[in-house]
Structure 1
Amino acid sequence: MSSWLVAILIMMTMRRFFPGTQALPHCALHQDCHAYPNGTDGLDFGLTSQLPRTTLPAAPASLSVGISITISIPLPIRPSTTASQPPPSSITSSAASSSPAPTAPSSSSSSASTLVPLPKPPPMNGQNAFEPVGTGPPPANIPSRGDHPVKPDHIVGSTGPIPTNKFFANFFLGSQTGPSFTHPYGVAWAKGKGPVTSYGLMVSNIEPSQLAFGPMSQSIPGNPVQFYINPIGIQSMILSAAELGPSSVLVVSKPSAFSATILLSPGPGSTSHIAFPLVQGMGFVTAVYTKLQPTVQSGVFFRQFEQLGSLKLGLFKYKVTLEDGTAWLIYVTSADGTDPQLRLEDHSLIRGISGFSGTIQICKNPLGGEGEGIYDRSAGVYAVEVQLAGFVVADQQTGTYSFSWEKQGLDVSTTPLLMFALPHHCDSFDKNTKSRMTGLHLRTTTKGMATGIVGDSWTMVETSLPIGFGKFSMLVYTVEKLAEDPSLAENAFRLLKEAFAKFVRNEQKWRLVYDTVWKGIVSSGSYVTRDPGLDFGNTYYNDHHFHYGYFILSAAIMGTLDPSWIAGNKDWVNALVRDVSTPVPDDPFFPCFRSFDWYNGHSWAKGLFESYDGKDEESSSEDALFAYALKLWGKAIGDASMEARGNLMLAVLARSLHAYFLLRSDNVNHPANFIANKVTGILFENKVDHTTYFGTNLEYIQGIHMIPLTASSSYTRDQLFVKEEWEAMFAETACTPASKVQGGWQGILFANLALIDPFTSWEFFSHDPFDYSKIDGGATRTWYLAFAAGLGGGPRL
């Protein structure tokens, strides 16, 4: 490996790891903003210093390229995705004050419920992708703090790491009334709001006709709408109890990567309660009652109520039609097998017997008799926990992962679960799982149509994993030919090591600390300033996969070039890996997969901020960067499981990004009048807004899903999508010609063009005299030339 490869790989690594020469002013940190080229902007934990600028000699005359290297300390900018949101605001009720947390109830299931332990995952071959990274504490020079600004006051029965970026977080944040999205259902604590003044758990499933749309673009071809949003606060069904009221309290129990249990009690210390096991994809919304009088309410109002008798011993069925014309089913299992005697009292209230212990399940049925049959066969059982397994067979470039559910309920050994799968699951099911797909479909908020699947486990298969990245070797070859100056490359590598070492030694202004409350590695900045937006919300667990991904990628490159460097830095880098994505649920220091959501197929950036639109993600490309960094770091340190996990995550991301973020013309998962935007912009759990946290220029919105351009970009950004986006947005005849875009964004657009037209990309960057203002602060002209050349570009013959 030549010395020039050292220099260029450093530049590739520093795409936004060392983006420029100045730190973003702290006043800007209060806003939901993002980095953009020509801003120097970086998460720097308070450290801003610039290393000497080194200019490389001219490239060979045949290439006619000027090359330079700049190394500076500020780290990559990320938006401070705090509680404030870009417009439009959600349709929501006003916030209410929190109630004191009670002691955890002693049981969350009725005596009628039995437990089936987690099933064994389906047999798989290859390298286990989910082996522990480590079990020890973080490095000693990262001090611990136990005074995090956000207190887990509404979490009970959990002494281990607490997930911070998961779908149920609104239940323990702020007013506790923000919704959670299990897909296909949205659930939220009514907390006395709405037309029926309920204190139960409200349930909704939004129809396409209920969506609200933003203004139509007057410049983008096809005139797509800027955003679409699902209304919040529609109380289609509410599972409650007569005893619940203003003194009721809600707490979260057993939080994990895929599930949590919500406990609603009449008051602190009450032994009566309702437990709601929330699991992603659950087929029923289930309420497990202990000694309460159950009620089922509706803010949409009941048009019709039917008692359909007993399906089998101890299982009773009811059907309701709401005033909006939707049909819902109610299944009741009583602890002693007796009739729960649900009765319609008025147009908004169904009431059962007092002192009830048992289970009530509700579900929406758009499929008439066929749908009833599907639900009937799985009624009485429900998922409570998920086991994830995954294996990679490198020589076959194949990865397999599975979800296996622990379930409870009536006749659990003979009654299969009904769970809902998202489109990217269905597209990758193995033959057995595909055979259990039903014709039952319900719309999700921002992920298209969910499909009902019968069975206690699913298996998904990804082929063509990015095991080798052959194009990367082409980049290496190209870089080796550009110039030769061993001493200069070695000096640049030394400077990078020195810059990295400052963070390993924890010498920056806002030192990293280990938070013993939620259990994670965070910036100390918000502890001192009490500004949640400082360091882009890092203290509150915003964007850790973005921030730490650049460190991990840099470490992978340095460790590959100098294996002796690994020993002194491995523990520190692995601590960052574990903070973002420890792959096991029993790591005592970090929650399992803080950012990556294996059900949704991508990461969520928002941390400990209440949000009525749920979690969100703005940069799909930086999500992929973390997986790419994981792959390379695993390879560098000889951790085969980590390398396999990175490969599997990249494969899942390649599929999910094109299903939900990167919108080809044939995309069916978002409304048709939105697709022409080509990218989602910011994808929330409840809305999609074609914008960014830092501006509305088209190059910002599209470009934040491009950067950083690495060897993995062609894997996650397929050529058909890139071609459609370029022709609609940035071609000379398009609405925003790339040639007229100002500043560093122009360089990003032409670098991205290399994915489909490497010759034109090469010509743009090789033209002399070259305007270096077109290169953003985190890239170099040389890297973009190498990128284009590696994809087949170069001087035209």
Structure 2
Amino acid sequence: MITIHHLQHHHSTIVHHNQTRIKPPSATMVNIQTNTSYIFPQTQSTVLPDPSKFFSSNLLSSPLPTNSFFQNFVLKNGDQQEYIHPYLIKSSNSSLSLSYPSRQASSAVIFQVFNPDLTISAPQGPKQGPPGKHLISSYSDLSVTLDFPSSNLSFFLVRGSPYLTVSVTQPTPLSITTIHSILSFSSNDSNTKYTFQFNNGQTWLLYATSPIKLNHTLSEITSNAFSGIIRIALLPDSDSKHEAVLDKYSSCYPVSGKAVFREPFCVEYNWEKKDSGDLLLLAHPLHVQLLRNGDNDVKILEDLKYKSIDGDLVGVVGDSWVLKTDPLFVTWHSIKGIKEESHDEIVSALSKDVESLDSSSITTTESYFYGKLIARAARLVLIAEELNYPDVIPKVRNFLKETIEPWLEGTFSGNGFLHDEKWGGIITQKGSTDAGGDFGFGIYNDHHYHLGYFIYGIAVLTKLDPAWGRKYKPQAYSIVQDFLNLDTKLNSNYTRLRCFDPYVLHSWAGGLTEFTDGRNQESTSEAVSAYYSAALMGLAYGDVPLVALGSTLTALEIEGTKMWWHVKEGGTLYEKEFTQENRVMGVLWSNKRDTGLWFAPAEWKECRLGIQLLPLAPISEAIFSNVDFVKELVEWTLPALDREGGVGEGWKGFVYALEGVYDNESALQKIRNLKGFDGGNSLTNLLWWIHSRSDE
């Protein structure tokens, strides 16, 4: 298993000075100013999987997703489950299994349990295609289409659909099996709707576009030869009005859906639908929150509820959704400025931290740790600006040039950025031959984390030295487009939004690794930092669309973090036993919630807090804007600092930083006594944070 973080993880407009706040103006977000012709040197990876096994040939000429909601369907045998709200879907042996999952919870973990409630198949035919395997014929932000060419079946798997929709392309007899016993079975007069109840309490509804004759035994339903559309939905409870709702919207089905980033702080979902009537889909809690902010012509059906690990899913009727988040102000410096009386203390630390900068003494060649050192130095520049203490800036500028340029020019000894044409993205030299190299960067793990640190340094250096920025703009944009590309036609070197998931509205970090529980993400704050850094790069280059897109994804990632990673006292999203014992997530999976970390056990609470805070920067204030929650989180964490065997000083620094949000003086004394810092942090940065907290 590839670990995302190693134990060592211990752990513009040119804008100046304190109070500048940039709210991106209304602008389309697709025309990011980029030189699409530049790519890093091409490489043939020896560790990447072959995409041609499961993607149809017409898709192979375009860059392919590496962190998608259906990633398991194209890895290894393609037979691991994926969570496509509200169902778990598993595809194997020419069949597709559908599960409305039950849930198990403890104080340590929550996960959804797959049971094949229904398995749909058809006899193998002579048609060409991979026998016994599915083929992905199309995909979008909100859907994937699985074809079984040898069985005449095509499944439109649309996220949030209460119906499973299957197209039977030629007259074909069908088989639907279940692990349960069928207790009752009935149809309407026209044989276009069937109702069947299982002995586990579930009731399922089947709708057909033309009459279909079904027969059943105790555990199998079979049909005569049928062609057309079949839709299957779980009835979430026995309330007859919910059955009437599912009846009403059964004829209109979506085949694909796209998330459109048309204006800042807004995402619009548009579906391609077939047949007449209105479209019924399901929204998770963050959808509902953002739908209420938008100008929507939708109807929310609060009573129609499906259970989900992300919270209850409720019905929404409408052909498009407008999701709007509050505007986020991207700033180079602290929001409210540094207290004047604190300048001397920070300047003293700043002088020492800058004095110790020496690019020749860097021993790491790993992209993650190297990127953190670049961003750490860039923080020193911005703090010096904020303090109006320019004396140290030339040395930091030289350090940034010495550390960044070799990666952009391909001269870095021991590693470097390369381009993989097979999936469409940047990988590292180490990662091209070692799946575990650079924490799996070569198999598309953690791209936003690693590259975000480099982008932060590039943004700051471009702000300082616009001529340098112009010289390296093609490389800079190549890096940012690796995970921020919106249009694969405009830039065919990179896939669309590699890490950010427009349905769950946060990022995934897991890359091209098969996981039973789907994609995962540990460090939300590093995801936030990546999009924030991209917005800053937009400011440095005067690129309004990049500022807008970076700011929008930053805002959405923060909303997702607060919804699903921050566990508040008395919260009802998760089970009581989990909520009582936890204040922050370890690793969040599409099908699981885990208190453990990739690099530390759940009991190391300081690591769980720290990995959701680092790197400490102005945007951290927006992630942790709820002071009551911050106090809950710190008080939950502090006892862990007395753990037998000791706690790393770097992790303590992050705990004290958050303590400073509500108890400035106590935190300041503790920070002054620290004897070490995380590799991406510094005493200067911690003092800047503490002294820029508001007294309000």
TM-score (norm 2): 0.84
The residue that corresponds to 1:447 in the other structure is 310
SS of the residue corresponding to residue 337 of structure 2 reads helix
- SS of the equivalent of 2:188 reads strand
Shift of 1:533: 0.9
Query: Are the structure 2 counterparts of residues 454 and 620 from structure 1 closer, same or farther at C-alpha, using a change threshold of 3 Å?
Result: same
In structure 1, what is the Cα distance between the partners aligned to 2:561 and 2:407?
32
Query: Which of 127, 130, 135 is residue 251 of structure 1 equivalent to?
Result: 135
| Superposition map of 1:696-775 within 5 A | 696=601, 697-717=604-624, 718-730=626-638, 734=639, 736=641, 741-766=647-672, 770-773=673-676, 775=677
In structure 1, distance between residues paired with 2:597 and 2:261? 34
* 1:183-198 equivalent positions in 2, closer than 5 A: 183-191=85-93
Match of 2:565 in 1: 661
Q: Does residue 353 of the first structure (1) align with residue 224 of the second (2)?
A: yes
Q: 1:182 to 1:38 in 2, by over 3 A?
A: closer
Q: Which residue of 2 aligns with 1:562?
A: 465
What's the RMSD between the two structures over aligned residues?
Answer: 2.7
Contact (CA 8 Å) 2:336, 2:694: kept in 1 or not?
A: no
Closer/same/farther in 2, CA of residues 662 and 133 from structure 1, 3 Å limit: farther
Deviation at 1:642, TM superposition (A): 1.3
Mapped partners of 1:369, 1:293: distance in 2: 31
Supply the distance in 1 between the matched residues of 2:141 and 2:34 (Cα, whole angstroms). 18
How many Å apart are 1:178 and its aligned residue?
Answer: 0.6
Residues 383-438 of structure 1, C-alpha deviations (whole Å, 9 max, x = no match): 22223223556xxxxx3221011112x33xxx111111110010111363564334
Residues 98 and 118, structure 2, Cα contact 8 Å, conserved in 1: yes
1:376 aligns with: 247
Letter matched to residue 574 of structure 2: H
- The answer for the alignment partner of 1:89 in structure 2 is none
Which secondary structure does the structure 2 equivalent of 1:675 belong to? helix
Tell me, which stretches of 5 or more residues in structure 1 are unaligned? Answer: 1-28, 40-124, 192-198, 215-224, 267-271, 394-398
Any residues of structure 2 matched to 1:582-731 within 5 Å, and which? 582-586=485-489, 587-676=491-580, 677-696=582-601, 697-717=604-624, 718-730=626-638
Please list the CA deviations of residues 708-746 of structure 1 after superposition, one character each: whole Å capped at 9, or x if unmatched.
11111111123222111112221xxx4555997442211
Query: What are the superposed Cα offsets for residues 419-466 of structure 1, whole Å, 9 maximum, x if unpaired?
Result: 11110010111363564334211112x311111111111111212423
Q: CA deviation at 1:498?
A: 1.0
1:155 to 55, 62, 67: 55
**Following the alignment from structure 1 to structure 2, what is the Cα–Cα distance between the partners of residues 479 and 297?**
71
- Of the candidates 37, 41, 44, which is equivalent to residue 145 of structure 1? 44
Could you tell me which amino acid in structure 2 is paired with residue 745 of structure 1? Answer: W
> 1-side partners of 2:298 and 2:142: how far apart?
22
Structure 2 residue identity aligned to 1:758 = N
User: Contact 1:239–1:287 at 8 Å: present in 2 too?
Assistant: no
Could you tell me how far 1:298 is from its partner in structure 2? 1.2
> Where does 1:250-399 land on structure 2 (aligned, <5 Å)?
250-266=134-150, 272-291=151-170, 292-310=172-190, 316-334=192-210, 339-344=211-216, 346-354=217-225, 356-367=226-237, 368-392=239-263, 399=265
SS for the counterpart of 1:594 is coil
Q: State the alpha-carbon separation in 2 of the partners of residues 130 and 738 from structure 1.
A: 50
Q: Larger helix proportion, structure 1 or 2?
A: 2
Q: What letter matches 2:689 in structure 1?
A: F
Q: Tell me whether 1:787 sits opposite 2:689 in the alignment.
A: yes
Of 329, 332, 337, 1:474 maps to 337
| CA–CA separation in structure 1 for the residues paired with 2:157 and 2:670 | 52
Quote the Cα distance in structure 2 between the aligned partners of 1:520 and 1:475.
40
* Separation in 2, partners of 1:687, 1:634: 35
Structure 1 residues 604 and 357, CA gap change in structure 2 (3 angstroms):
same
* Deviation of 1:479 (Å): 8.5
Does 1:226 find its partner at 2:108? Answer: yes
Query: 1: distance between equivalents of 2:67 and 2:589?
Result: 13
SS at match of 1:127: coil
- Of the structure 1 ranges 674-683 and 542-551, higher mean CA displacement relative to structure 2 is found in 674-683
Count of matched residue positions in the alignment of Structure 1 and Structure 2: 625
Q: Does the CA contact (< 8 Å) of 1:163 and 1:257 recur in 2? A: no
SS class of match (1:641): helix
1-side partners of 2:542 and 2:497: how far apart? 21
Question: What is the alpha-carbon distance in structure 1 between the residues aligned to residue 70 and residue 502 of structure 2?
Answer: 15
1:567 Cα shift? 0.4
Q: Give the stretch that moved more between structures: 577-586 or 597-606.
A: 577-586
The amino acid of 1:743's aligned partner reads E
Secondary structure at the aligned position of 1:609 is classed as coil
**Displaced runs of 4+ in structure 1, greater than 6 A?**
476-480
Q: What is the 5 A alignment of 1:438-517? A: 438-444=302-308, 446-468=309-331, 471-472=334-335, 474-475=337-338, 482-483=346-347, 486-508=390-412, 509-517=414-422
Change (3 A) 1:727 1:256: same
CA distance in 1 between counterparts of 2:488 and 2:575 reads 37
Q: Quick one: structure 1 residues 145 and 37, their matched pair in 2 at CA, closer, same or farther if it must change by over 3 Å?
A: closer
What does 1:40-79 correspond to in 2, within 5 Å?
none
Mapping for residues 73-152 of structure 1, pairs under 5 Å: 126-134=26-34, 136-139=36-39, 141-145=40-44, 149-152=48-51
Question: Alpha-carbon deviation of 1:635?
Answer: 1.1
Task: Give 1:301 deviation, angstroms.
Answer: 3.0
Q: Which amino acid aligns with 2:236?
A: P
Contact 1:147 1:517 in 2 (8 A): no
**How far does the alpha carbon of each residue in 1:497-537 deviate from its partner, in whole angstroms, 9 at most, with x for none?**
11111101122323322111111111132433xx3111111
Match of 1:182 in 2: 84
Cα distance in 2 for residues equivalent to 1:247 and 1:206: 29
Alpha-carbon deviation of 1:602?
0.6
SS of structure 2 residue aligned to 1:496: helix
Counterpart contact for 1:148–1:527, Cα < 8 Å: yes
Q: How far 1:279 sits from its partner (Å)?
A: 2.1
**How big is each residue's C-alpha offset from its partner over 1:355-396, in whole Å with a ceiling of 9 and x where there is no partner?**
x22111111112431111211122123222223223556xxx
On the 8 A contact 1:164/1:607 being kept in 2, the answer is yes
Output one character per residue of 1:259-295: Cα deviation in whole Å (capped at 9) or x when no partner. Answer: 22111133xxxxx521111222123111111222122
**In structure 1, C-alpha distance between the alignment counterparts of 2:89 and 2:392, rounded to whole Å:** 59
Task: Report the residue type matching 1:450 in the other structure.
Answer: L
Unaligned runs of 5+ in 2: 12-24, 352-388
Q: Deviation digits for residues 38-65 of structure 1, max 9, x if unmatched? A: 56xxxxxxxxxxxxxxxxxxxxxxxxxx
- Per the alignment, residue 194 of structure 1 pairs with none
Query: Counterparts of 1:789 and 1:614 in 2: how far apart (Å)?
Result: 42
- For residues 299 and 535 of structure 1, the distance between their equivalents in structure 2, rounded to whole angstroms, comes to 43
Please state how far the C-alpha of 1:151 moved relative to its aligned partner: 0.3
- Flag the 1:477–1:137 CA change in 2: closer, same or farther, 3 A: farther
The residue aligned with 1:108 is none
Q: Which residue of 1 aligns with 2:14?
A: none
Q: Is the 8 A contact 2:587 2:595 kept in 1?
A: yes
Contact 1:146 1:516 in 2 (8 A): no
TM-score (norm 1): 0.74
Deviates more, 1:153-162 or 1:296-305: 296-305
Instruction: Report how far residue 227 of structure 1 moved.
Output: 0.9
Query: What is the one-letter code of the residue matched to 2:187?
Result: Q
Classify the secondary structure of the residue corresponding to 1:287.
strand
Post-superposition offset of 1:35: 4.7
CA distance in 2 between partners of 1:463 and 1:492 (Å): 35
Taking structure 1 as reference, are residues 777 and 400 closer, same or farther at Cα in structure 2, changes over 3 Å only? closer
Counterparts of 2:340 and 2:98, CA distance in 1 = 57
- In structure 2, the partner of 1:437 is 301
> CA offset at residue 572 of structure 1?
1.0
